[in-house]
Amino acid sequence: MVNSHSPSPKICDCLAFIEKSKSVIGNLKGDFFENELKKLTLLEERFSEGRLNLAVLGQFKRGKSTLLNALLGVDVLPSAVVPLTAIPTFLKSGKNLSAKIVFNSERKPEIFEVENISQLRVFVGQFVTEENNPENEKNVLEVEIKIPDNPLLKNRVVLIDTPGIGSTYKHNTEATLNFLPQCDAALFVVSSDPPITEVELDFLKKVKEKVPRLFFVLNKIDYLDEDERGEVLDFLKKNLEKAGIDGNLKVFPVSAKQALKGKLKNDENLLISSNIQEIEEHLVGFLAKEKSEALSKAIALKVLHSLNEVLLNVDIELKSLLMPIDVLEEKLTLFERKIDELKYEKQAAFDLLKGDNNRLHQFLEEYSSELREKSEEYLEGVMDEVIASSNKEKIDEIEIRNKLAEVIPVFFEKKMGETTELFEKKVSDLLNRHKERANSLIISIKNIAAELFDVSYSKLQEDRLFELTHEPYWVTHKWNTTFNPIPPAVVDKVMPLKVRNRRIVKRIKEQIHSLVISNIENIRWSIYQSIDKSFRTFERTLEEKFDTTLKSTYGAVKLAMKKRVEQKEKVEKDIENLELIKQRLNGLIDELNLFLKSG
């Protein structure tokens, strides 16, 4: 038994503490205890894989790739004089030096393992450079690079190089914004030539609403003397404040070029003058430690819950072994009656869940219909602007089509982001209400068992019972911008100019209508599937949790009954063993509670 003066487990001891818990539970036999061991193993994996996802943002020629290479200390990402193809790159720790190319189609990913960084850079360059993959003709979705034994990546940091702002593919700016909420933080890279542009400021106004933590890097300080550096920093901060961004946000002046050269040549003077250590120590290090602390607390809570579950079942089995068999039979009958009542409540919970799912689908249909109308209105407005800005009496149909083809991906990518955000909130709000009911239902099983068998039970609310975790993922959508071929204009040529213009406007409006239906259906169907998946996952989790909890508590009583009837001579030994395990479980629980209370 751990006394009140026992030291609390440190963050770095989280995995060791899970191993201790598994060692204790491993002495217990039965499906329930095996399931708890599997849960603890999954928690080990989650803690080991709990990474800080740090996105790097910036406009073309700000030195993003060089900065990422400098942070890693290896020249792995290609850089170019012309903008690189807009493809996100994920840099992670791995056992082997490798790259995985994921495609935007059914084509299987390509995985390339190499012996050195130079080979890896050449391979990646075949997919992310404009020279080797013009306009992303290879249809690449994302690239994942794994580097073994890298000090930064080994610290559970994932660096994410995002498509450049204002790139050839303008809708990638919106795709980047849609991706950012999945990340823990973002580095926004600017430089002194000029410090910040209107394009960047407009983008930042949107970024600050999307990303949890935002930091700035002023790159290329090696081009500035000390006075110029101060002027540029002041200018940058003033413009950030004008854009509504907190002037106290941290800005890191750095020379990524010097930092990379210093690391590659092991030149301490270059590293000091580059100022790269400030980013590594005060940004990446701090955030990684902060996330590790938060993750440790979250994992500790889950381990504590698991230990309390095990302790409840050990207590129930102990009490069942100790009480007269006729009393045990009576309590078992009463328990079964209570469980039948809870099964009825569970079915009622499923009915309510189904009703909310149907209502949300109905709302989606109404929302999609309204979005179709607004989209047509917007695109027709674009057409009207092109016509109004032209000094020609004759409407240029090709000019209108080209303009619409340019704005459609940007417009619908933005609408996809807004729609996804809206429905994620609606699903979350709905399921949170159902989660309270589900938690109450599941805890009722444990409470009934605890009361019937007169055992204490720590009534932990499982706030994250239905939590779904995933690594950040990039999503792109193929927006339909293809107009039907222009029909033969023989009839148009013989028509009066006003009639001809009306025919062109009507023809384009009809095709706008067709394109809107196609693209809105892309959004609607994606959200429809997401809603269904969320509700199905919730229902399946509730069903599994209910059944597992029922089997564990009910199973503890049935097991005790079986031992009483079939193995009378072993009962005393079992009681002694369970008492010892109970003592060790209480010790672990005390230790965890102490850790959770310490800040």
**Which pLDDT tens digit goes with each residue over 574-584?**
888 999 999 99
**Residue percentage of the chain with pLDDT more than 90:** 36
What pLDDT, on a 0 to 100 scale, did the predictor assign at position 166?
63
- Asked whether residue 37 carries a pLDDT value surpassing 70, the answer given is yes
How, if at all, do strands 185-191 and 52-58 pair?
Answer: parallel
**What strands lie across the sheet with 185-191, from one edge to the other?**
110-113, 98-103, 140-147, 89-93, 157-161, 52-58, 185-191, 214-219, 251-253
| Structure confidence at residue 144 as a pLDDT band (50, 70, 90) | very high
**Residue percentage of the chain with pLDDT more than 70:** 90
Question: Among 115-119, 214-218, 494-498, which stretch is predicted with the lowest mean pLDDT?
Answer: 494-498
| Cα–Cα distance measured from residue 410 to residue 165, given in angstroms and rounded to the nearest whole number | 13
> b/e per residue, 372-390, with b = 16+ CB within 10 A?
beebbeebbebbeebbeee
For the chain, domain boundaries:
53-274, 359-565
pLDDT tens per residue across span 151-191: 888 878 899 998 877 655 567 788 888 888 888 889 999 98
- Asked whether residue 470 carries a pLDDT value surpassing 60, the answer given is no
**Mean pLDDT score of the chain:** 85
What pLDDT, on a 0 to 100 scale, did the predictor assign at position 167?
56
What pLDDT, on a 0 to 100 scale, did the predictor assign at position 31?
80
Closest CA to 92 of 134, 23, 149: 149
Give the total residue count for the chain. Answer: 599
| Structure confidence at residue 32 as a pLDDT band (50, 70, 90) | confident
What pLDDT, on a 0 to 100 scale, did the predictor assign at position 9?
46
| Structure confidence at residue 3 as a pLDDT band (50, 70, 90) | very low
pLDDT tens per residue across span 46-87: 787 778 889 999 887 788 889 999 999 999 988 765 556 678
Averaged pLDDT for residues 129-155: 87
| Structure confidence at residue 568 as a pLDDT band (50, 70, 90) | low
pLDDT tens per residue across span 94-108: 889 999 999 987 789
What pLDDT, on a 0 to 100 scale, did the predictor assign at position 7?
40
3-class secondary-structure state, position 582: helix
| Structure confidence at residue 518 as a pLDDT band (50, 70, 90) | very high
| Structure confidence at residue 429 as a pLDDT band (50, 70, 90) | very high
Question: Among 16-25, 153-162, 336-345, 561-570, which stretch is predicted with the lowest mean pLDDT?
Answer: 561-570
Closest CA to 491 of 482, 502, 500, 478: 500
What pLDDT, on a 0 to 100 scale, did the predictor assign at position 459?
58
pLDDT tens per residue across span 246-277: 756 788 999 999 999 999 999 999 999 999 99
| Cα–Cα distance measured from residue 276 to residue 558, given in angstroms and rounded to the nearest whole number | 63
Q: What is the CATH number of domain 53-274?
A: 3.40.50.300
The two structure tokens encoding residue 475: 């999503």
What pLDDT, on a 0 to 100 scale, did the predictor assign at position 80?
61
What pLDDT, on a 0 to 100 scale, did the predictor assign at position 247?
59
What pLDDT, on a 0 to 100 scale, did the predictor assign at position 469?
45
What pLDDT, on a 0 to 100 scale, did the predictor assign at position 245?
78
The two structure tokens encoding residue 288: 């990684």
pLDDT tens per residue across span 439-453: 888 888 888 888 888
The two structure tokens encoding residue 101: 């190319």
Give, in degrees to the nearest 5, the angle at Cα 187 between 183 and 188.
120
- Asked whether residue 286 carries a pLDDT value surpassing 90, the answer given is no
| Structure confidence at residue 513 as a pLDDT band (50, 70, 90) | very high
| Cα–Cα distance measured from residue 354 to residue 539, given in angstroms and rounded to the nearest whole number | 9
- Asked whether residue 564 carries a pLDDT value surpassing 80, the answer given is no
Q: Which DSSP category does 6 fall into?
A: P
| DSSP secondary structure of 440-468 | HHHHHHHHHHHHHTT--------TTTT--
Query: Which residues are within 8 A (CB) of 347 and not within 5 positions of it... i.e. 6 or more apart?
Result: none
What pLDDT, on a 0 to 100 scale, did the predictor assign at position 598?
74
- Asked whether residue 493 carries a pLDDT value surpassing 80, the answer given is no
| Cα–Cα distance measured from residue 110 to residue 99, given in angstroms and rounded to the nearest whole number | 8
